[in-house]
């Protein structure tokens, strides 16, 4: 009898080794190597005469076809996916426990079932009665919504063949297993093999499948990084559990733009979409407070106005603290060094606390100018004009660099009643300013501070 071949696989990054190691060389995490039985592989393949073999085609001879999409009643959800759900797509959605992933997908399933499209909702974590309790709370009563509590992938595929649904939800992929894979459910091998089979079902039958993925304590989707490469779109459901607002962010999309963002509000009867997120982020802004500025940030194709708050105070320790929420913490000491060197602000003995109001995360360079102005405003204890918007990237020499899509940013600011925009000088040519708003072009941080602090 042949001896079983075993290998050790890291459950965080998928690194494989012939022997057990306490520390994974791939991700440097401890005690993540788990023994798994190596699957049998077929070294050769014989092609019969009746089997169809795919052949390469010239790209110019392939007809271009627009991907058909299924739209839901949630416009924010359609926006993140690039206009709707693409037939035959495989979408991965992840988020913290209790953030609302199952609630969102159950609402989407209900809306599609209401359009006379059969939907199969597979729950590997809840029983049918538990799913029914949540459906009653959300007011889900469609007849074409089928609920299945199953973790065996073979049985799930069998039900898909019988029902022939137009939409499938797998909640979650970490609970699904294949019988011929010996490792436990949720392991790297099980997640990889189950995702490959679901991808074949989606592509061959034209059925869009949404799979829910657990996340690690760092916030990344659990399992191998290969999982995110296999699917067509990756969505992250973010937000503070103690706040009512949720952000659905697309970080990968083969059928639309990436970094699109949709805003939802968690209510007792489920998630409700927020059509104008800028008003939500600015509704509790205090007027005339030092250290508060507003920036027009681009989230995908949508401009969003967000408040940036800074608190600068003298330090009581040898090393001043630099803390940031909602932005990269490495950007704070960089901009403080620019202000100290190019503007002359003595910040080396000051603690800095930066926060993006509303729980949104900003990662584009166009927020640099607003962040620098808020730091200077708090340090000088001098508030800026509440009707000002700051847009621009700050270089290490103190210059203000151009940003993309300045027209959409300024139009969003004018729509919400702001009177003045301070932006890079190189962004002023080639477009018409909206009525009722003044646009000031600046070349350096010092020039921007002179305009912002002038009363």
The C-alpha atoms of residue 372 and residue 368 are separated, in whole angstroms, by 6
Q: Average the pLDDT over each of 47-61, 157-171, 270-284, 385-399 and give the range with the smallest value.
A: 47-61
The reply to whether 108 sits in an annotated binding site is no
> What was the pLDDT predicted at 218?
65
The reply to whether 361 sits in an annotated binding site is no
The reply to whether 280 sits in an annotated binding site is no
Does residue 126 share a domain with residue 203?
yes
The reply to whether 26 sits in an annotated binding site is no
Q: Which residue has the higher pLDDT, 47 or 224?
A: 224
- Give the residue from 226, 241, 275 where a domain finishes: 275
User: Over the chain, what is the mean pLDDT?
Assistant: 88
> What was the pLDDT predicted at 455?
59
59 in a structural domain: no
> What was the pLDDT predicted at 32?
83
**4 has a pLDDT exceeding 80:** no
Q: Average the pLDDT over each of 21-35, 163-177, 421-435 and give the range with the smallest value.
A: 21-35
What domain range is 85 assigned to?
Answer: 70-275
Phi/psi region, residue 220 (left: phi>0; alpha: psi -120 to 50; beta: rest), is: beta
Does residue 336 share a domain with residue 270?
no
The reply to whether 84 sits in an annotated binding site is no
Which two three-digit tokens encode residue 346?
């003595």
The reply to whether 102 sits in an annotated binding site is yes
- Using alpha carbons only, give the angle 186, 189, 192 rounded to the nearest 5 degrees: 85
415 in a structural domain: yes
The reply to whether 95 sits in an annotated binding site is yes
- The fraction of the chain above a pLDDT of 70, given in percent, is 93
Residue 365's CB: how many other CB atoms inside 10 A? Answer: 15
* Reported pTM: 0.79
User: In 3-state terms, what secondary structure has residue 256?
Assistant: coil
pLDDT in tens, 31-79: 888 888 765 554 444 444 445 567 898 988 888 877 789 999 999 999 9
User: In 3-state terms, what secondary structure has residue 420?
Assistant: strand
Q: Please tell me the total count of domains within the chain.
A: 3
User: In 3-state terms, what secondary structure has residue 394?
Assistant: strand
DSSP code string of 1-54: -PPPPEEEEETTT--EESS--SB-TTT--BS-EEEEEPPP--S--PPPTTS---
Does residue 336 share a domain with residue 212?
no
Q: Which residue has the higher pLDDT, 54 or 357?
A: 357
Q: What is the dihedral of CA 33, 38, 39, 43, to 10 degrees?
A: 130
The C-alpha atoms of residue 209 and residue 87 are separated, in whole angstroms, by 9
> Strand 90-95 and strand 209-213: pairing?
parallel
The reply to whether 326 sits in an annotated binding site is no
pLDDT in tens, 384-437: 999 999 999 999 999 999 999 999 999 999 999 999 999 999 999 888 889 889
> What was the pLDDT predicted at 43?
47
1 in a structural domain: no
**379 has a pLDDT exceeding 70:** yes
- Give the residue from 254, 275, 296 where a domain finishes: 275
Closest by CA to 83, choosing from 250, 206, 201, is: 250
Does residue 238 share a domain with residue 336?
no
**224 has a pLDDT exceeding 80:** no
């Amino acid at each position: 009898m042949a001896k079983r071949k075993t290998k050790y696989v890291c459950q965080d990054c998928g690194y494989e080794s012939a022997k057990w190691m306490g520390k994974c060389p791939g991700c440097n995490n401890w005690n993540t190597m788990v023994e798994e039985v190596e699957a049998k592989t077929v070294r050769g393949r014989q092609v019969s005469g009746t089997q169809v073999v795919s052949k390469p085609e010239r790209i110019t001879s392939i007809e271009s076809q627009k991907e058909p999409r299924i739209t839901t009643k949630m416009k924010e959800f359609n926006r993140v996916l690039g206009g709707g759900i693409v037939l035959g797509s495989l979408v991965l959605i992840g988020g913290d426990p209790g953030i609302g992933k199952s609630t969102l997908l159950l609402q989407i399933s209900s809306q599609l079932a209401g359009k006379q499209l059969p939907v199969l909702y597979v729950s590997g974590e809840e029983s049918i009665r538990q799913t029914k309790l949540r459906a009653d709370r959300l007011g889900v009563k469609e007849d074409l919504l089928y609920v299945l509590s199953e973790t065996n992938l073979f049985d799930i595929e069998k039900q898909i063949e019988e029902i022939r649904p137009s939409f499938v939800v797998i909640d979650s992929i970490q609970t699904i297993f294949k019988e011929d894979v010996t490792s436990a459910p949720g392991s790297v091998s099980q997640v990889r093999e189950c995702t490959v089979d679901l991808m074949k079902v989606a592509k061959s039958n034209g059925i869009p499948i949404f799979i829910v993925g657990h996340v690690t304590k760092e916030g990344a989707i659990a399992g191998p990084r290969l999982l995110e490469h296999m699917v067509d779109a990756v969505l992250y459901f973010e937000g503070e559990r103690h706040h009512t607002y949720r952000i659905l962010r697309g970080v990968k999309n083969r059928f639309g733009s990436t970094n699109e963002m949709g805003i939802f509000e968690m209510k007792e009867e489920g998630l409700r979409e927020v059509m104008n997120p800028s008003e939500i982020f600015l509704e509790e802004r205090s007027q005339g407070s030092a250290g508060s500025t507003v920036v027009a940030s681009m989230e995908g194709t949508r401009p969003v106005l967000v408040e940036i708050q800074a608190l600068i105070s003298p330090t009581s320790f040898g090393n001043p603290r630099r803390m940031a929420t909602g932005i990269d913490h490495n950007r704070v000491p960089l901009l403080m060094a620019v202000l100290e060197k190019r503007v002359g602000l003595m910040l080396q003995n000051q603690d800095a606390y930066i926060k993006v109001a509303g729980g949104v995360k900003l990662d584009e360079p166009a927020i640099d100018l607003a962040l620098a102005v808020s730091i200077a405003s708090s340090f000088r204890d001098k508030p800026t004009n509440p009707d000002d918007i700051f847009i621009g990237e700050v270089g290490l020499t103190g210059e203000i660099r151009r940003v993309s899509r300045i027209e959409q940013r300024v139009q969003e600011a004018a729509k919400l009643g702001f009177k003045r925009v301070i932006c890079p000088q190189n962004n002023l040519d080639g477009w018409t300013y909206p009525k009722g708003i003044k646009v000031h072009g600046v070349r350096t941080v010092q020039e921007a501070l002179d305009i912002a602090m002038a009363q």
